[in-house]
Amino acid sequence: MTKVDIVERIHENIGITKRDAAMILETVLETMKETLERGEKIKISGFGNFVVREKRERKGRNPQTGAPLTIKARRVLTFKASPVFKSAINSK
Protein backbone atom coordinates (compact mmCIF):
# COMPACT_ATOMS: atom_id res chain seq x y z
CA MET A 1 0.00 0.00 0.00
CA THR A 2 1.28 3.46 -0.89
CA LYS A 3 0.00 7.04 -0.63
CA VAL A 4 -2.06 6.52 -3.81
CA ASP A 5 -4.02 3.71 -2.13
CA ILE A 6 -4.61 5.79 1.00
CA VAL A 7 -5.93 8.65 -1.19
CA GLU A 8 -8.23 6.17 -2.94
CA ARG A 9 -9.51 4.95 0.38
CA ILE A 10 -10.26 8.48 1.68
CA HIS A 11 -12.02 9.27 -1.60
CA GLU A 12 -14.23 6.18 -1.25
CA ASN A 13 -14.95 6.60 2.46
CA ILE A 14 -15.56 10.32 2.67
CA GLY A 15 -16.60 11.19 -0.88
CA ILE A 16 -14.15 14.07 -1.37
CA THR A 17 -12.20 14.28 -4.63
CA LYS A 18 -8.93 12.40 -4.93
CA ARG A 19 -7.23 15.73 -5.47
CA ASP A 20 -8.49 17.06 -2.14
CA ALA A 21 -7.71 13.76 -0.42
CA ALA A 22 -4.13 13.89 -1.72
CA MET A 23 -3.72 17.50 -0.59
CA ILE A 24 -4.99 16.70 2.90
CA LEU A 25 -2.82 13.59 3.20
CA GLU A 26 0.27 15.62 2.24
CA THR A 27 -0.67 18.33 4.76
CA VAL A 28 -1.16 15.76 7.53
CA LEU A 29 2.22 14.17 6.78
CA GLU A 30 3.98 17.55 6.54
CA THR A 31 2.45 18.69 9.84
CA MET A 32 3.61 15.48 11.50
CA LYS A 33 7.13 15.91 10.08
CA GLU A 34 7.34 19.52 11.30
CA THR A 35 6.22 18.45 14.77
CA LEU A 36 8.77 15.63 14.97
CA GLU A 37 11.47 17.96 13.64
CA ARG A 38 10.87 20.17 16.68
CA GLY A 39 11.51 17.08 18.80
CA GLU A 40 7.88 16.90 19.87
CA LYS A 41 6.17 13.52 20.13
CA ILE A 42 2.90 12.64 18.41
CA LYS A 43 0.22 10.56 20.11
CA ILE A 44 -2.48 9.15 17.86
CA SER A 45 -5.06 7.40 20.00
CA GLY A 46 -6.00 3.97 18.68
CA PHE A 47 -2.89 3.94 16.49
CA GLY A 48 0.30 4.64 18.40
CA ASN A 49 2.97 7.13 19.46
CA PHE A 50 5.84 8.56 17.43
CA VAL A 51 8.73 9.63 19.65
CA VAL A 52 12.00 11.33 18.70
CA ARG A 53 14.89 10.00 20.74
CA GLU A 54 18.31 11.55 21.14
CA LYS A 55 21.16 9.07 20.73
CA ARG A 56 24.56 9.87 22.18
CA GLU A 57 27.77 9.44 20.24
CA ARG A 58 29.17 5.92 20.65
CA LYS A 59 31.91 3.68 19.37
CA GLY A 60 31.02 1.05 16.87
CA ARG A 61 32.59 -1.08 14.19
CA ASN A 62 32.14 -1.47 10.48
CA PRO A 63 30.48 -4.90 10.45
CA GLN A 64 32.06 -5.72 7.09
CA THR A 65 35.68 -4.82 7.80
CA GLY A 66 35.74 -4.77 11.61
CA ALA A 67 37.33 -1.30 11.50
CA PRO A 68 36.46 0.78 14.57
CA LEU A 69 34.47 3.95 13.97
CA THR A 70 32.57 6.59 15.86
CA ILE A 71 28.79 6.67 15.50
CA LYS A 72 27.84 10.33 15.82
CA ALA A 73 25.12 11.65 18.12
CA ARG A 74 21.83 11.63 16.21
CA ARG A 75 18.09 11.67 16.53
CA VAL A 76 16.03 8.60 15.74
CA LEU A 77 12.30 8.15 15.45
CA THR A 78 10.57 5.31 17.25
CA PHE A 79 7.00 4.15 16.87
CA LYS A 80 5.13 2.28 19.56
CA ALA A 81 1.85 0.79 18.37
CA SER A 82 -1.17 1.17 20.64
CA PRO A 83 -2.81 -1.94 22.14
CA VAL A 84 -5.75 -1.41 19.74
CA PHE A 85 -3.39 -1.57 16.75
CA LYS A 86 -1.61 -4.66 18.09
CA SER A 87 -4.84 -6.55 18.68
CA ALA A 88 -6.16 -5.56 15.21
CA ILE A 89 -3.14 -7.32 13.74
CA ASN A 90 -3.41 -10.42 15.88
CA SER A 91 -7.14 -11.04 15.56
CA LYS A 92 -8.11 -13.64 12.92
By the criterion CB under 8 A, which residues form the site for other proteins?
Answer: 1-3, 5-6, 9-10, 13-14, 16, 20-21, 23-25, 27-29, 31-33, 35-37, 40-48, 50, 52, 74-79, 81, 85-86, 88-92
Give the CA-trace dihedral at 31, 37, 41, 43, to 10 degrees.
20
The nearer residue to other proteins, 20 or 67, going by C-beta atoms, is 20
> 3-state DSSP call for residue 13?
helix
The nearer residue to other proteins, 37 or 60, going by C-beta atoms, is 37
The nearer residue to other proteins, 17 or 61, going by C-beta atoms, is 17
**How far apart are alpha carbons 92 and 85 in whole angstroms?**
14
**How far apart are alpha carbons 71 and 60 in whole angstroms?**
6
The nearer residue to other proteins, 66 or 88, going by C-beta atoms, is 88
What is the nearest approach in angstroms of other proteins to the Cβ of residue 43?
5
Burial classification of residue 27, based on how many CB atoms lie within 10 Å of its CB (0-12 exposed, 13-18 middle, 19 or more buried): exposed
